[in-house]
Structure 1
């Protein structure tokens, strides 16, 4: 496994990995209705929004034999927007490598993220602490996540 900078041609692989990971990893903590709301539409507008933020942020992809098996993106202010690792590659240190590398690349006073119920324990092991529990609504469906913070 190695990390490299995101390229615009990675969008389809990244979106597919995101959708598959939400369905196959987060199902223990969220209902099928919540998973569908989280995934949302895969239309031109959504793909354009993702492409814009992935290109604007520091974004890394994790590759295993040239196949995207993980990705993460962080703003210059230290906000970790997305972190997903393929269901088949969980618990192999990929998420940790992505987060640590992005933190090293981003000289921020602190780092923040909105973590899912599923991801909360991972972030706590990385030194993040819960600031508050949130209820967000997507497509009329309530989802729980956690605002988390880590001092640099």
Structure 2
């Protein structure tokens, strides 16, 4: 596996990976209606490209295929972390997280973890700050604000 910076031509593969991963991996923790508003069919590619371009976004590759991606902003928000549904539990998320957490040399990093991802972040030393109800297109989803301190 190799890790490289995001490039604009990645956007189609990344948004498909995001959609497919949410709809397959998170299905045990969220309803179909919640999955549909979290990862809709009509993803705005320009908005995603702008978001990822404004952050440190890293891409995990295996044999020229994107198998994961993650992003962090300069303030320490680990914004996105997704691994292809067929490449779960192979250390890809951990490797991406290692790189992202150290990118800006911050004293702490925080994220808004899904119910599904909560255990992953707890195992990495993150603490739950609070449980949150987030609204997307009129539907409520649960996630957790979590933080990891490095000092």
Q: Is TM (by shorter chain) over 0.5?
A: yes
Q: Which has the higher helix share?
A: 1
Residues 70-89 of structure 1 aligned to structure 2 (within 5 Å): 70-89=68-87
SS across alignment from 1:28: coil
SS across alignment from 1:112: strand
State the shift of 1:106 in Å: 1.6
Moved over 3 A (4+): none
State the shift of 1:78 in Å: 1.0
Ranges in structure 1 where 5+ consecutive residues have no aligned partner: none
Residues in 2 aligned to 1:112 and 1:22: alpha-carbon distance in whole angstroms? 20
Q: Which residue of 1 aligns with 2:46?
A: 48
Q: Which residue of 2 aligns with 1:117?
A: 115
State the shift of 1:42 in Å: 2.3
Q: Deviations over 1:73-122 (max 9, x none)?
A: 00011100000001110000000000110112121121000000000000
Report the RMSD for the aligned CA atoms in angstroms: 0.9
Q: How many residues align?
A: 150
TM-score w.r.t. the length of structure 2 is 0.97
TM-score w.r.t. the length of structure 1 is 0.96
Q: Which residue of 2 aligns with 1:25?
A: 25
Ranges in structure 2 where 5+ consecutive residues have no aligned partner: none
Residues in 1 aligned to 2:114 and 2:54: alpha-carbon distance in whole angstroms? 23
